[in-house]
Amino acid sequence: MNKILIVISIFLCSITGEAQENTFIPQPESVVFNTGGFQLNNETKVYIPSKNYTDLQSIVASKLKQDIDLNLSINKGKVRVSSNYIVFQKVKDASIDSEGYILEITDKKVVIKAKDYAGLFNGFQSLRQAIPVGIKGTTVVPNMLITDNPRFHWRGVLLDVSRHFQTKEFVMKQIDVLSAYKINIFHLHLTDDQGWRIEIKKYPKLTEKGAWRAKRDGIAWWSREAATADEPKTVGGFYTQDDIREIIAFAKTRNVEIIPEIDVPGHSKALVASYPELFCSDIDTTNVSFEVAVGGKAPNNTVCPASEYTYEFLEDVIEEIAALFPSKYLHIGGDECSKKDWKKSAMCKQLMDENGLEDYEELQSYFIQRIHKIVEKQNKTMIGWDEVLSGNGVPGATIMAWRRGKYTPEVQAPRAGYPTIMTSYLHSYISRVQGPTSMEPEGPNSVLPLSVVYNHEPVPSELTEEEAARVLGNQASLWGEFTPTESHFEYMLYPRTLASAEVSWSDPKVKSWERFQYALETSHFKRLERDNVNVAKSLFTVYPVFGIDQLHSKAIVYLETEAVGYTIYYTLDGSDPTIDSNKYEGNFKATPKSLLKAGLFNKTGDLLGEITEVRLK
């Protein structure tokens, strides 16, 4: 985009010298504050174009009621008053991209201009953020002019509802919250080893058996013993096709596209448990369990690529999925496929010989290419995790590039001509904990701080301009192994999905980590809590590092935090720190076995996060 980008600092001053705070997330392309403000009250009239009235009016009315407890008159068509109104306008303006908008607030009116429904919706979300948080009833919204367009048109979040099922209502709540931050893609990981979550009418056992597993509460995910055939299967759930239609309709009015994922040929334990005939029939199954996995270990979890029944079955499933979801995309997984069982199968070896396949990677490629043809037959574009590039690849597909390091799909895929979505496990897998592991809920022993998500650049510098144009966008992924409750699920989502939203929407030139964290502290944590969202404040946690100097019998202590512009205070006597405690100004020495407590404080003396506590031994 060839546009003039205006970088905005945390504080902007109007011509009267009055300070205005720029706390928008994601950061708009340009924000210019002006003197004065628009009085928003119960007399304010709202006007929406007739074509968009049905979808937009209920959202505008309900959100203004929820946010500031105003009951506004929502009208269809042209403006019929001279002042104190909000108007949504469809315009033809070359400076406004699809999903972009112009928001102008003056003393007399608020105007939201866009070329499409998505832009009108996004402009309204920015208006909501311009309204001071915490005020109920009449309020003054600062005068300003915002011009804004998205960097990427794929701004996604993956929700894994297979490992731990989440209700329809909970999914819709997250769509409602995240669409306010201009997230427009919800990737639903609907099937995996631990559960099949979507009704397929032709194959009812997928939900009769595949949606339920044995209870293993209180046992570490990777240490759970496999289920036996006769124990009760009480953990799980699934979405009926009517549930899915309701989610899709709800999402559509919020400019959110739902992308379904049916994961094959691996990650398919729930599938083969429901229909064992999908397993290679010439393998000895004496010691094979056909029960839905209860945790991380799920051997014998692949469908057979050498059986025609596999393709007939999956074609039926894909046909129902394609008819249900209006998105042009259908995700078939393709990741982390174990070849152990295939190597035991004479059927697989014969298929490889007949088709000149050199190894089992090419056998997987053969399978993926056949599934690709099935997806294409339904007039859909197939998405696969970057493992589908192995073997002979799958021309015509879209790649979701997650691996990094030894594998470089973020470069390989766009260079090979594939449309590519970036979802780096190093920067965007928000199933990893977000603060010191000793202070976070159960999760992988790996930390992904908010600042790492925020500072990620999705487009590799090695790509040419032509190759970079194949990057469709960016996505955060929340895998569900360690999120058994709604509260924990939200804790992992927020605020890291807000950071990902800014990475996906905002031009890098207008981003600022200091501004972003300040916006969270002063505005967005309050907004999320107001909307009953459980949000993590781990960015304000203090990380302690210490070593014992045995020669001098001293502990040498370092304190760090990812947040900038704040002050760490600490104690060594067991008391909770305050701004009257020791101010951290660099590493210090302490008596071994002392109890260190440290916290992060803002300029007004408020403790921002939890107090870190550690014994120096």
Give the active site residues: 192, 267, 336
Instruction: Give start and end residues of each alpha helix (H) in 277-399.
Output: 308-324, 346-355, 360-377
CA distance 229 to 227: 7
Q: What's the angle, vertex CA 607, arms to CA 606 and CA 613, rounded to 5?
A: 160
Give the three-state DSSP class for 118. helix
β-bridge mates for residue 37, sequence order: 142
Give the three-state DSSP class for 90. strand
Q: Are 86 and 45 in contact, with CB atoms under 8 Å apart?
A: yes
- Cis bond before residue 26 (omega within 30° of 0): yes
Positive or negative, the CA dihedral 395, 401, 407, 413 is positive
> Exposure of 615 by Cβ count < 10 A (0-12 exposed, 13-18 middle, 19+ buried)?
exposed
Site of tokens 């946690």: 541
**Token pair listed for 367:** 């399978």
- Cis bond before residue 265 (omega within 30° of 0): yes
CA distance 574 to 615: 10
CA distance 479 to 432: 9
CB atoms within 10 A of CB 56: 20
Q: Are 481 and 431 in contact, with CB atoms under 8 Å apart?
A: yes
- Cis bond before residue 495 (omega within 30° of 0): yes
CA distance 160 to 450: 20
Q: Are 284 and 292 in contact, with CB atoms under 8 Å apart?
A: no
| C-alpha of 505 from chain center | 13
**Residue by residue, what is the 3-state secondary structure of 567-609?**
EEEEECECCCCCCCCEECCCCEEECCCCEEEEEEECCCCCECC
**Token pair listed for 572:** 């060594």
CB atoms within 10 A of CB 377: 12
In 43-165, the DSSP E strands lie at 45-48, 73-76, 85-90, 101-105, 109-114, 139-148, 154-160
Give the three-state DSSP class for 81. coil
What does the DSSP assignment read for 218-237?
TS-GGGPPPPPTTS---EE-
